[in-house]
Amino acid sequence: MLRFLAKRLLMMIPLLIGITLISFVVIHLAPGEPTDMQTDLNPDASVELQERLRAQYGLDQPLYVQYGQWLGRLSRLDFGESFSLDHRPVMEKIRERLPITIIINLLSIILILAVAIPIGILSATRRNSLFDRATTVFVFIGFAMPSFWLALLLMDYGGVRLGLFPIAGIRSLGHEYLSFSARIWDLVHHLILPVFVSAFGGLAGFSRYMRSNMLEVVRQDYILTARAKGLSERVVIYRHALRNALLPVITLLGLSVPGLIGGSVIFETIFAIPGMGKLFYDGVMMRDYPLIMGVLVIGAILTLVGNLLADISYAMADPRIRRS
Amino acid sequence: MIRKSVSVLLVLLMMVLLLSGCQPDEGFVPESDADAKPAYGDTFIEASIGEPSNLLPILATDSASSEINGLVYNGLVRYDKNLKLEGELAESWDISPDNLTITFHLRKGVKWHDGAPFTSADVMFTYRLYIDPDTPTAYAESYKQVKHAEAPDDYTFRVTYDKPYAPALGSWAMRILPKHLLDGVPITKSPLSRHPIGTGPFVFTEWQSGEKVVVEANPDYFEGRPFLKRVVYRVIPDQTTQFLLLRNGDLDYMDLSPIQYQTQTDTLAFERRFNKYRYLAFSYTYLGYNLERPLFKDRRVRQALSYAINKQEIIEGVLLGLGQAATGPYKPDTWVYNPNVKRYPYDPDKARALLAEAGWHDSDGDGILDKDGRPLQFTIITNQGNDLRIKTGEIMQQRFREVGVSVKLRVIEWAAFLKDFIHAGNFDACILGWAGGPEPDQYNIWHSSKTGTRELNFIHFRNAEVDRLLEEGRRTFDQEKRKKIYDRFQEILAEEQPYTFLYVAESLPVVARRLHGIEPAPAGITHNFIRWYVPEEEQKYAR
Question: pLDDT, tens digit, for every residue of A70-107?
Answer: 988 888 888 888 888 788 899 999 998 888 888 998 89
A211 shares contact with chain B (CB less than 8 Å):
no
pLDDT of residue B452: 81
For residue A85, being part of any structural domain is answered with no
Contacts of A162 in chain B (CB under 8 A): none
Q: Do A85 and B543 touch (CB under 8 A)?
A: no
CA–CA distance, B539 with B519 (Å, rounded to integer): 20
Residue B204 pairs with which residues in a beta bridge?
A: B215
B244/A159 Cβ within 8 A = yes
CATH no. for residue A228?
1.10.3720.10
- Closest residue, chain B, to A115 (C-alpha): B2
Query: Does residue A298 sit within a domain?
Result: yes
Q: Is residue A165 part of a domain?
A: yes
- Minimal-distance CA residue of chain B relative to A265: B237
State which H helix or E strand residue B160 sits in: strand B156-161
The stretch B231-252 carries a mean pLDDT of: 92
Note the pLDDT tens digit of each residue in A16-72. 999 999 999 998 888 877 777 666 666 666 677 777 778 878 888 888 888 998 988
A236 and A175 belong to one structural domain: yes
From A52, A78, A104, the end of a domain falls on: A78
A48 part of a folded domain: yes
Contacts of A250 by beta carbon, 8 Å cutoff, 6+ apart: A310, A313, A314, A317
Above 60 in pLDDT, residue B159?
yes
Task: Name the residue of chain A whose CA is nearest to B132's CA.
Answer: A49
3-state secondary structure of B140: coil
Residues of chain A contacting residue B56, judged by C-beta atoms under 8 Å apart = none
Alpha-carbon distance values, B187 to A87, B116, B171, B198 (Å): 10, 20, 21, 15
Cβ contact A274–B7 (<8 Å)? no
Please provide the distance, in angstroms rounded to a whole number, between the alpha carbons at the two ends of chain A. Answer: 13
What is the per-residue pLDDT for A42?
65
Q: Do residue B415 and residue A41 have CB atoms under 8 angstroms apart?
A: no
Say what the pLDDT of residue B496 is: 94
Q: Which residues of B touch A155 (CB under 8 A)?
A: 241, 244
Handedness of CA B532, B538, B541, B542 (dihedral sign): positive
| pLDDT band per the 50, 70, 90 thresholds, residue B12 | very low
- Residues in chain A closer than 8 A to B541 (CB atoms): 173
Q: Which tens digits make up the pLDDT trace of A139-160?
A: 899 889 888 899 999 999 988 8
Q: How close A85 gets to chain B, by Cα (Å)?
A: 6
**pLDDT for residue B7:** 40
Under a CB-based contact definition with an 8 Å cutoff, are residues B495 and B342 in contact?
Answer: yes
| B33: confidence class by pLDDT, cuts 50, 70, 90 | very low
Whether B211 sits inside 8 A of A97 (CB atoms) is no
Task: Enumerate the residues of chain A whose CB falls inside 8 A of the CB of residue B171.
Answer: none
Q: Do B244 and A155 touch (CB under 8 A)?
A: yes
Find out whether A193 and A152 touch, Cβ atoms under 8 Å.
Answer: no
Q: For residue B329, is it left (φ>0), alpha (ψ between -120 and 50) or beta?
A: alpha
Query: What's the pLDDT score for residue B451?
Result: 87
Cβ <8 Å between B237 and A31: no
State the pLDDT at residue B498.
95
A86 in a structural domain: no
- Side by side, the strands of the sheet bearing B202-208 are B202-208, B212-217, B230-235, B43-48, B253-255, B509-512, B274-276
**CA triple B33-B39-B43, angle to 5 deg:** 95
DSSP string, B265-289: S-SHHHHHHEEE--EE-SEEEEEEE
Clarify whether residues A268 and A281 are in a common domain.
yes
Q: To the nearest whole number, what is the mean pLDDT of chain B? A: 88
> Do strands B146-153 and B101-106 pair parallel, antiparallel, or not at all (unpaired)?
unpaired
pLDDT score for B46: 93
Range of the domain at A95: 1-31+91-323
Comparing A265-269, B70-74, B343-347, the range with the smallest average pLDDT is A265-269
Q: Does A170 touch chain B (CB under 8 A)?
A: yes
From chain A residues 95-134, the ones with a CB under 8 A of any chain B CB are 96-97, 118-119, 122, 131, 134
Domains and CATH numbers, chain B: 74-178 (3.90.76.10), 202-278+508-538 (3.40.190.10), 283-505 (3.10.105.10)
Q: Are residues A19 and A108 in the same domain?
A: yes
Contact check, Cβ <8 Å, A30/B415: yes
Q: What is the pLDDT of residue B24?
A: 36
Phi, psi of B516, deg, nearest 5: -120, 170
Say whether B16 and A52 touch across the interface (CB within 8 A): no
- Please indicate if any CB of chain B lies within 8 Å of the CB of A287: yes
Decide if A183 touches B, using CB distance below 8 A. no
Shared domain for A125 and A40, answered yes or no, is no
Residue A102 and residue A39 share a domain: no
**DSSP string across B94-135:** EE-TTS-EEEEEEPSS-B-TTSPBP-HHHHHHHHHHHH-TTS
> Across the interface, which of B43, B237, B444 has its CB nearest the CB of A43?
B444
Q: Is A57 on the interface with B (CB under 8 A)?
A: no
Number of structural domains found in chain A: 2
Chain A, window 81-100: residues with a beta carbon less than 8 angstroms from a chain B beta carbon: 84-88, 93, 96-97
CA distance B281 to B334: 11
**With an 8 Å Cβ cutoff, are A168 and B244 in contact?**
yes
Predicted local confidence at residue A126, as pLDDT: 87
Number of neighbours of residue A272 by Cβ within 10 angstroms? 24
Instruction: Round to whole Å and give the CA distance between B308 and B301.
Output: 10
Same domain, A147 and A185: yes
Residues of B in contact with A30 (CB under 8 A): 415-416
pLDDT at res. A37: 66
Average pLDDT over residues B47-71: 88
* A272: contact with B, CB 8 A cutoff: yes
How many Å lie between the alpha carbon of B292 and the closest alpha carbon of chain A? 19
If asked whether residues A51 and A170 sit together in one domain, one would say: no
CB < 8 Å to A117, chain B: none
Same domain for A46 and A136, yes or no, is no
**Chain B: residue whose CA lies nearest to A53:** B136
A83 lies in some domain: no
Same domain, A261 and A162: yes
Closest partner CB to A32 (pick from B65, B415, B445): B415
Asked whether B204 and B55 are in contact (CB, 8 A), the reply is yes
Q: How far apart are CA B6 and CA A116, in angstroms?
A: 11
User: Residue B168: its chain A contacts at CB < 8 A?
Assistant: none
Contact B419 A52 (CB under 8 A): no
Q: Is the pLDDT of residue B349 over 90?
A: yes
Identify whether A296 is part of a domain: yes
- pLDDT-derived band at B26 (thresholds 50, 70, 90) equals very low
Lowest mean pLDDT: which of A167-171, A257-261, B182-186, B522-526?
A: A257-261
Q: Which residue of A has its CA nearest to B441?
A: A43
pLDDT in tens, B173-209: 999 999 999 998 888 888 998 999 999 999 999 998 8
Statement to judge: residues A71 and A141 lie in one domain: no
A133 CA: distance to closest CA in chain B (Å): 12
Same domain, A73 and A140: no
CA–CA min distance B536, chain A (Å): 20
Is residue A1 predicted with pLDDT exceeding 80? no
Per-residue model confidence (pLDDT) at position B5 = 40
Contact A160 B244 (CB under 8 A): yes
Q: How far is B240 from chain A (nearest CA, A)?
A: 8
- The confidence score (pLDDT) of residue B387 equals 87
Residue A204 lies in a domain: yes
pLDDT of residue B364: 83
Contact criterion met (CB < 8 Å) for B241 and A44? no
Tell me the β-bridge partners of B158.
B103, B150
Report the percent of chain A where pLDDT is more than 70. 95
Asked whether the beta carbons of residue B2 and residue A122 sit closer than 8 angstroms, the reply is: yes
**Contact call for B140 and A155, based on CB within 8 A:** no
pLDDT of residue B16: 38
CB-CB contact of B287 with B309 (8 Å): yes
| A274/B209 CB distance under 8 A | yes
In this model, does residue B151 exceed pLDDT 90? Answer: yes
Do A190 and A255 belong together in one domain? Answer: yes
User: Taking Cα atoms as reference points, which of A87, A273, A93, A274 lies closest to residue B55?
Assistant: A87
